[in-house]
Structure 1
Amino acid sequence: MSLWVDKYRPTALGKLDYHKDQAGQLRNLVQCGDFPHLLVYGPSGSGKKTRIMCLLRELYGAGIEKLRIEHQSITTPSKKKLEISTIASNYHLEVNASDAGNNDRVVIQELIKTVAQSQQLETSTQRDFKVVVLTEVDRLTKDAQHALRRTMEKYMSTCRLILCCNSTSKVISPTR
C-alpha cells in the first residue's frame, strides 16, 4: 500500500500542471543531450523533488523508480567514521550532505568521486553519466560549497549534479 501523495505524484514532465514553460525547457535539455549541472530552488513543498524525479525519469526511463536506501561509510582525514544514508537507483544518487555537519566537504567529495568513477549497471539508457542529487545545498558550509564547485568541474564528463535548495542567498555565486 502506498501513500496517496506517492500514488498520484506526477511521473513525467508533461504531467506537471504548473510552470509548464520550465517543464518544456527541462524536456529540451534532455532531448538535446547537453545536460548541464542544475540548481533547483523554491520554498518547501513547492515540488522541487517531484520536478527532479520527472526529469530523471525523462533521462533514464522507468528504472529510476527502483529506489534503494544505501548507507555509506566515509572516513574523514581525522579518522572519524561517518555514516550517511543515501537514496539510489542504478542511474542516480540522492544525498543530503548537510547531515554530516562540519564534515560535509569530505562527504560531498567522497560520494561524488565514488559515483563518478563507478560504471552504470545498465548501459541501455544511452547516457554516459550518472546524476547526483544534493538536497539542502543552502545549508552546506562555505568550505563545502567551494569543494563542491571544484568537484563539479573535475567530474563533469561522468557525473552531473542537481542541486536542490530553498533559497539561493546562502549558495555561493560560482555554484549558482
Structure 2
Amino acid sequence: MGLLPADIEAQASGVIDLYSKRGWRIATAESCTGGLIAGALTEIAGSSAVIDRGFVTYSNQAKMDLIGVSAAALERFGAVSRETALQMARGALMRSDAEVAVAVTGIAGPGGGSAEKPVGLVHLALATRSGDIVHREMRYGDVGRSMVRMQTIRTALEMLLAAAHPQA
C-alpha cells in the first residue's frame, strides 16, 4: 500500500493513464491540501510524463507571487472563495506548460471557520488551455482536517478525470 488510501491511488492512476494517452500535462495549485494532490499523482509510476508542476500557495502572498491571484480578489472575496480558486487555476495554467490546471482552497479545520465559511468548505477550480473553466464548491463538513483534505483530493481527481472526458 502506498502513502494514500487505495481509492485515491486508483483515481490518480486513472488520471495518469488517461492524460498520458492524451499527451496532456497537469499543473496543481494547492492551498488546504498542501501539495497532496500533486503527491497523489506523483505516487503513480509514469507520472513524470504527465505532471508539469505543482504550486503550494498556502499564504495569500504565495497566491499572489507564484500564480498571480490579485490582491483585490483576496481582499474582496477572501482566500477561500470561488473567485480565488478560479484565479488560482488560471494562474497555474499560465505559469506552466500544462494543458490542465486544478486548484483548491478551503478550510480544513479544526478551527478557522465562520458561519459564512464553515470548516469543511473547499472551492476547487479547473482550467484548460482550450479555455474551459470549472468551479465546484464543496461542503464536506467539520469531519476532521485529514478527512477534509482526503475528500478534496478525491474531488480534484474527479474533476481531472472529467476534464479528459468532456463528453461525459
**TM exceeds 0.5?**
no
Give the TM-score normalised by structure 1. Answer: 0.37
Bigger CA radius of gyration: 1
Give the TM-score normalised by structure 2. Answer: 0.39
